Structure 1
Amino acid sequence: MKLAPQQPIEPQRSPLADIISVGQILDMPVVLLGYQQRWVGLRAPLKVGEKSRRIGLTWAEAADNVLVAASATVAGGMNVYYLGYNQDMTVEYIQACAMWVRAYNYAASEIEEGIWPDEDPDKYIKTYTITFPSGYRIVALTSRPSNLRGRQGIVVIDEAAFHPDLAELLKAALALLIWGGEVHVISTHNGADNPFNELIQEIRAGKRQGELFRCTFKEAVADGLYKRVCLRKGIAWTAEEEDAWVQSVYGFYGDAAEEELDCIPAQGGGAFLSLALVEGRTSRDSPVLRLSYPPGYETLAEHLRLAESLEWCERELLPLLQSLPIIGVQSYYGMDFGRSGDLSVFWPLLKERDLRKRTPFVVELRNVPFAQQRQIKFYIIRRLPNFLKGADDARGNGSQLSEETATEFGFNRIERVMLSEGWYRDNMPPFKAALEDDTFYGIPADQDITGDLRALRMVKGVARVPEKRTNEKGDNASKGAAKRHGDAAIAAALADFASRQETEIFAFHRVPPSASHPRAIQRGAGWRTQKGIW
């Protein structure tokens, strides 16, 4: 296909942004939908997009790639290499690029077919290329790790989860970052054990630098996907027709809808933490302190209950708190709240000079009234050495105690967490990584604590505690077979979360005044002014 010759451009402002602005002024539909704009606007050396099927993310990527390849070097121009896992994808992508070239009215060559030599001298790799007057080009080719050796620019790996050797391909692609390139990885999921999902988990865990993007089918519809379908078909949009269309799409995918449309990798229902990993981080020097009251205990006079709890604190907690080091550590905590059905678990952490995080002890409270939980919690926090940050389960009844804690110790120091699927998705991988790296250790060698950690399961691709409770196997088993719900695991994850948050540290240093100050008068051992002591 021939394109009209034009002069090369050096855009200071994205032409795509101009098109969007003009469309808004004229009350026309924007070129890219909201999620497509967010993907294009996400700039990072490595960005990874987990997406639903058929939402047009590759189409948006092509729009950005044309802008980059058509720009001069001073405007950020560079080559673009597209790697699809089959020839049909490659052809569809290069045709989308040609469409965007015409839309932007850019000068470019026709699509040229060519071949690259392969590692095997008897084989060649078919390529499709568009060349721009800027000197840069877009090259779409099949995926071979050797293809990228010595190249420079942006690498787009499309449907990465379906490439035969993604690990080696990523290794070759990421080498381009040394000289300022970019790697864009786009894909739907293809199983929990796939290298694509492992890459996402590594980024979430902080083991690899990169930016993550996620868009499910329903999120794309909320951003106007079906309205765009109606626009292309020339039919009127109605909310009823949109709902019916969404249901038909989900019906088409059937049991595969969670993976294909909801970005949930399949085959991910096993234990999140292995027994060997959990037991390898335990210590017999970290005790579990348990306080349990019988039903109806809350009917006693409050001053009697508080006095009894204070006695318990000074008998059980104070010796442990006084034994904690004061110098060279920073303190954090996580607390999962429960009143009657579930436990309240308070999990302190000491971050040491080598940045490892040690658990000195764990406190479990069962059927402890609200006022006493507040009393015990504050007793511990006030005695933690160099306390910096805490994270509370702020759902339901826990919201009040969390708010009171933030009021007492500062809203900048107490994270009030609303546990959700998104929170689990973002924070469980770093928690697991800390265990694997041995930077989170000292877990009490206790059957119930380790059982709670082992209760974490992959639920729809996200590590969390399932709804089903487990029987408690500890000392209270004979007292009505009380149950647990992974409470200690949530407290531990909240403590790790708190230790990874930015912390504001305030300090006061007394500075003696100069004796030459015009209002300074020496009186005794101190210096005073007319308005008070320095």
Structure 2
Amino acid sequence: MARLLPYQKEWIEDKSPVKFWEKSRRIGASWADAADSALVAALSKEEGGMSTYYLSYNKDMTKQYVADTADWAKKYNLVAGEVEEIVLADAERDVTIYQVRFASGFVVQGLSSNPSNLRSKQGRVRIDEAAFVEDLGELLKAALALTMWGGDVAVISTHNGEESEFNQYIQDIRAGKLDYTLHRTDFDEALHAGLFKAICGVKGDAWEQAAESAWREKTIARYGDGASEELFCVPSKSGGAWLTRNLIESCMSPELPVITWEPPAVDFVDWPLDIAHSEVEDWCEAELAPLLMRLSQGCRHYFGEDFGRTGDLSVFTPLIENDDLSLVTPFLVELRNAPFRTQEQILAYMVDRLPNFSGGALDARGNGQSLAEFARQRYGADFIAEVMLSQTWYREQMPPLKAQFEDRTLLIPKTSAVLEDLRGIKMQKGIPKPPESSTKGKDGQRHCDSAVSIALALFARNTIEVDVEWRFATAGGGAARRMMTSF
């Protein structure tokens, strides 16, 4: 095990019944898995030993995997035979399989990717370069039958296009639709873990950072336009709309309003604090109070917030979790050109009155960090997630949002602006996220603001778990205004 890199060890240590690995090419994924297969096959039945069946679309790959298993057996000093090549007569054509047999009686066997090869088998299944097999769905269905008897299934692959079955499984795992575990290792992650150092060790070369950097650039250049997919786990053919109009509209209701606040005057930011506070308080009482009073006292409530100041909007999204676990955004609050203190005031007014408040997530990038910190200080770190929106966050957290739309378990306001915000989320290098620049809408500049806010509200609901109910304690009538004086 000493020769294995950290990500290879993590894969082997994962004993989940079903696990997937999206990876860069040539990082030693199959080679490491063969080490695990050798160890498992060498155990007795009482110790948990079992056979492993390796399937792929390529005959040479199956032969190599079995050969790697035999090589690992020698390294571990396990009692095992040599690689056998067996030809099975078939009505249409002969089929060649490769296997190595262990003293325990178990085998590691390389097969073609025909699902029928798994009939009557017991043990473990490895499906390699799964994005390239002819029918991954049927193959996986056949493989899952082996888990009923204590076996497990591992699916390993680089990507082969955005529409491949393999990528659909990856998205479903991220969306929480499948309880499989997911590993991801791109080229740079493998290098950081020591891939090039391991290559130098095998070749007998001395490792140098300059040599590694040059090798990295040369490898990326060799793959050309395919580098993103082949090395960095980004499925090709990206760039289209992430959610269709029909899918979004099927989860919209015209009865759910969008409330907008804009400064009552150009110089509002210069108004005396107490007068500005009173102006905003009156707006909250007129616009928000009636909506908040209608919220069910028995349901959990969450919120999400995407921050904007002079350009993009700030959008607050309250989120209700119903008894049947369906979700509703009872209204959205859009703030355009709102001063920081006004955003704090409106956020506090809304969240203080959310029944059974259970958590919120706020965009904490740039100036948004100020509002996120305000929320954390007011409601506590256990209830507030300060989110630094990034490619990693979008990759992991947007699929659950899409799953809510596909399952029709999320209801949102029906307006053209909200629709366009959601349709503005695009697949970019395999990741659903807003475009780099804002767009000009009918009501001004937008940057998928409500879409991000809704995603953050769902993130809060999915990740924040606090046993103690948050309660708001008022300081008494007029206290807030007195506190603002001399501020």
**Which interval holds the TM-score relative to the shorter structure?**
over 0.9
> Map of 1:263-282 to 2, 5 A cutoff?
263-282=233-252
Unaligned runs of 5+ in 1: 1-15, 21-30, 475-481, 509-534
Q: Does 1:503 align with 2:474?
A: no
Whole-Å Cα distance in 1 between the matches of residues 56 and 65 of structure 2?
A: 9
Q: String of CA shifts for 1:22-64, please: whole Å, max 9, x gaps.
A: xxxxxxxxx1112211221222111100111111111101111
Whole-Å Cα distance in 1 between the matches of residues 406 and 323 of structure 2?
A: 19
Whole-Å Cα distance in 2 between the matches of residues 362 and 507 of structure 1?
A: 24
Query: Which residue, out of 447, 455, 460, partners 1:493?
Result: 455
Deviation at 1:74? 2.5
Q: Does 1:354 align with 2:327?
A: no
Q: TM-score, normalised by structure 1?
A: 0.86
Whole-Å Cα distance in 2 between the matches of residues 267 and 245 of structure 1?
A: 27
Whole-Å Cα distance in 2 between the matches of residues 226 and 501 of structure 1?
A: 36
Q: Does 1:257 align with 2:219?
A: no
Q: String of CA shifts for 1:258-292, please: whole Å, max 9, x gaps.
A: 00000000002111110001111111111110011
Amino acid at match of 1:320: L
The alpha-carbon distance between structure 1 residues 265 and 295, as it changes in their structure 2 partners (threshold 3 A), is farther
Whole-Å Cα distance in 2 between the matches of residues 170 and 390 of structure 1?
A: 38
> Map of 1:43-54 to 2, 5 A cutoff?
43-54=15-26
Deviation at 1:413? 0.9
CA contact (8 A) 1:391 1:415 kept: yes
Query: Which residue, out of 268, 276, 283, partners 1:305?
Result: 276
Deviation at 1:123? 3.2
Q: Does 1:444 align with 2:413?
A: yes
> Map of 1:113-124 to 2, 5 A cutoff?
113-116=85-88, 121-124=91-94
Instruction: State the SS of the aligned residue for 2:232.
Output: coil
Amino acid at match of 2:455: A
Deviation at 1:162? 0.8
Whole-Å Cα distance in 2 between the matches of residues 410 and 507 of structure 1?
A: 12
CA contact (8 A) 1:53 1:261 kept: yes
Q: String of CA shifts for 1:118-163, please: whole Å, max 9, x gaps.
A: 6xx3334211111111121111111101111221111000111111
Q: String of CA shifts for 1:453-505, please: whole Å, max 9, x gaps.
A: 1100001001000112111213xxxxxxx310000000000111111124222
2:426 — aligned with what? Answer: 457
Instruction: State the SS of the aligned residue for 1:500.
Output: helix
Q: Does 1:368 align with 2:338?
A: yes
> Map of 1:396-475 to 2, 5 A cutoff?
396-441=366-411, 443-474=412-443
Q: Does 1:78 align with 2:40?
A: no
The alpha-carbon distance between structure 1 residues 502 and 468, as it changes in their structure 2 partners (threshold 3 A), is closer
Find runs of 4+ consecutive structure 1 residues off by over 4 angstroms. none
**Number of equivalenced pairs:** 469
> Map of 1:6-405 to 2, 5 A cutoff?
16=1, 20=2, 31-116=3-88, 121-293=91-263, 295-327=266-298, 329-405=299-375
Instruction: State the SS of the aligned residue for 1:261.
Output: helix
Deviation at 1:240? 1.1
Whole-Å Cα distance in 1 between the matches of residues 203 and 146 of structure 2?
A: 41
Q: String of CA shifts for 1:491-525, please: whole Å, max 9, x gaps.
A: 000111111124222269xxxxxxxxxxxxxxxxx
Deviation at 1:236? 1.9
Q: Does 1:484 align with 2:446?
A: yes
Amino acid at match of 2:433: R
Instruction: State the SS of the aligned residue for 1:406.
Output: helix
1:8 — aligned with what? Answer: none
CA contact (8 A) 1:447 1:473 kept: no
Deviation at 1:117? 6.2
Amino acid at match of 2:24: S
Instruction: State the SS of the aligned residue for 2:69.
Output: helix
- Higher Cα radius of gyration: 1
CA contact (8 A) 1:295 1:367 kept: no
CA contact (8 A) 1:192 1:268 kept: yes
Unaligned runs of 5+ in 2: 471-487
Q: TM-score, normalised by structure 2?
A: 0.94
Instruction: State the SS of the aligned residue for 2:316.
Output: strand
Query: More relative contact order in 1 or in 2 (CA 8 Å, sep 6+)?
Result: 2
Amino acid at match of 1:494: L
Amino acid at match of 1:457: K
